[in-house]
Structure 1
Amino acid sequence: MDKTNYLLPLYNRLDISFVKGKKSILYDEKGKDYVDFSSGIGVNSLGYCNKKVIKTIKKQANKILHSSNIYHIKPQKECAKKIVALSTYDMQCFFCNSGAEANESAIKLARKYGNIAFNKTKYKIITIRNSFHGRTITTLKATAQDDKHKYFGPYPDGFVYADNINEAISLIDEDTVAVMIELIQGEGGVFMQDKAQVRELSKILKKNKLLLIVDEVQTGVYRSGNFLMSQHYEITPNIITLAKGLATGIPIGVMMTNLKNIFAKGDHGSTFGGNHLSTSVSNTVLNILEQYKNSGKLESNIKYFNKYIDYFIKKYPSLFLSKTGFGLMLGITLKEKVNLDEIVQLSLNYRILVLNSGTNILRFLPPLNISKKEIKIGFKRFEKIVRKLNIRKQ
């Protein structure tokens, strides 16, 4: 591997490079296979080299990749229609390129709503401690993690942090326009919000004509078993943001909302957002995943994967405390003195890809269509690591 560095040192990269993938297996430069329980941090919803996705990319590349949003884009309109139908909400979509951009769009929309919907301007947005909403200046400030705010100020005003949903309710005041939450915090420990508290928050916001923004960048696109995690919570947000799994590796983001008459022409936009390539691929991905969900295979996969997580927690109580998360967005809480980084590295050594989250959570985000055979192989390798660590602790 070339050690010459022409890249800014922004990532704590593991010492490996992948050259190809098939289904839920990646291959390095030496041809070694790795079971992927991370899916590019929840991006590769259909794993690698899906035949229908490849066919869509080739077909679109032979026609047109990009024009501009000053012209009509047919696959973008089709994709918006599909997303709205799958959501079951009466909404419209704005397309961009990432989760951060989708969240930035949500914040701008909420701020405009706060400016025009009330006699006195409302601008404050409450977010939840340990949330993660992006790395732009504004979405970084929305991210309620103090250690990520060093060096980059001054920041835009108007963000308030609550330790939990109940405190968010108590912090709502005359300047508040919205509360922005992740129903499961991806970077913040795979922590799942309490359903009753979220529903109470939604009720209070609706009563006061304030906005509920749900960041589903990681939880959306069937990762929970339903198209949206919001559907499990039986709430109707005003704004939902999506990205990651929408196009299984092609950059795309979506801000969808029931506030249809707030943004005017020129208020917002994107050069690349929703172009022919990204939305064509997304249409294919959504069709595949809808069929996969309706067939019962997704639910079967979720149960099978969860059984393995439950097995490890029960069998190795000296290492593991509990399971966190939902669907195929899962975490294992490690006991004290178990080194998270060491497990991630050992997993790589044993040819499994896993992720960390927070300070003591091992995170699993496999492709949604990962086969039972691939799950079994991956966890068989994982148990070798666990046994090694368990012996060390005894």
Structure 2
Amino acid sequence: MKKYLLLLLAVCQGVAVMAQQPTSYKMKVTLKSGEKIVMLTEDIDSLTFADYDKVKVNLSERFVTSSTVAVNIELQENSKRFYALCLPASQQIPENQLKDYILAHKTVEKETSYKKSFDMLQPETEYTVYALAFDINDVPSEVSKITLKTGKVEDDELTIKVNSVTRRTVDFSVKPKNPNTKFYTLCSGLDKYYKDCDERENHGDVVKHYIAMWTYFASMYGGTWQSLMNNDLKSGVFQDVQGRLRWNDDQMIVAFGMNEDGTLSTPVYTKNFKTQAPTPSTNQIKLEIKSVAYRKVILKATTTNNDSYYLGVQPASYVDRFSSREEMINHLCYESTVENQNFNGDTETEFNPFKPDQDYYAIAVGLDDNAPSTAPIVIKFHHPAKN
């Protein structure tokens, strides 16, 4: 018995010594494509064999208009995410190139089911929506596709017309095909439109953004969101001039019919346009700080022509938070009421900073329809504390 124990001890010691030898093993896998994958076994943390099905997303029609195809993109439970894009049906992509094409040209990337409206399309034209699903291992799997045709312009239940556009305003009208249709309409920046589609739990449905807005107001003022919605609905031919738009920027007008109970009665119609760019001014503005006292700053601007310009003071805490003076002046002209500080020709005027013992900037910039038309002039000064 003792002899066997000694032999067992020797074997164990031998195994231990072998385990300490710097011997490396490789694992080689040959794929069906012929590609070979080789790795050191010491680099492998774990190896799992799993059996799973190929996955895809389900596509179905939501609605079509003369310029939009809207689809429901339903993600299966065993799908991790999807990519999607929309192409004219006449643009054929070979089946063996579809996945690579979608990976390279995707316009939608989501991890949940989504209602996507592909807008700004041509009327009476077939379009194909492609969606590529990713499985639980985040590997591209199956491609789904659906082909839909945009409608005729005369068949649209709501017609949006852009009458005129300036740098900061749009004059537009909405006409329902059925005079009894009540609808809501609003214009916003194109980026804002996409943000409204994606915010909270909207998952692409922009109408949910407006329902959330009415719900919020109802919580403040009482009543139901449907009652506030009905106050906002229009009927007949509606015309409006909407201002305070961003210059030289893509915009989107949205219009959709609603029933009194808050259900959608028409597709969602959209119309895109771009505001005008400001005309550069040759006005050469010379800015001087004549005097600085508590709550009293005198600025003098000398100009070379009678073009409009902004003159004012802003806290350094505001000006310095931007990465450039151009970014700052764009934000100032878009977000504030610069029209209230609009001057022409030589000016000497008083401003009243609010915060004592703080750094401020004196600012002057040319304006064209309240959009910046020159580079800004910026001079820093300190607003003193009260004596």
What is the TM-score with the length of structure 2 in the denominator? 0.21
Q: Which has a greater percent of strand?
A: 2
Larger Rg: 2
The structure whose RCO (Cα within 8 Å, separation 6+) is larger is 1
Higher helix share: 1
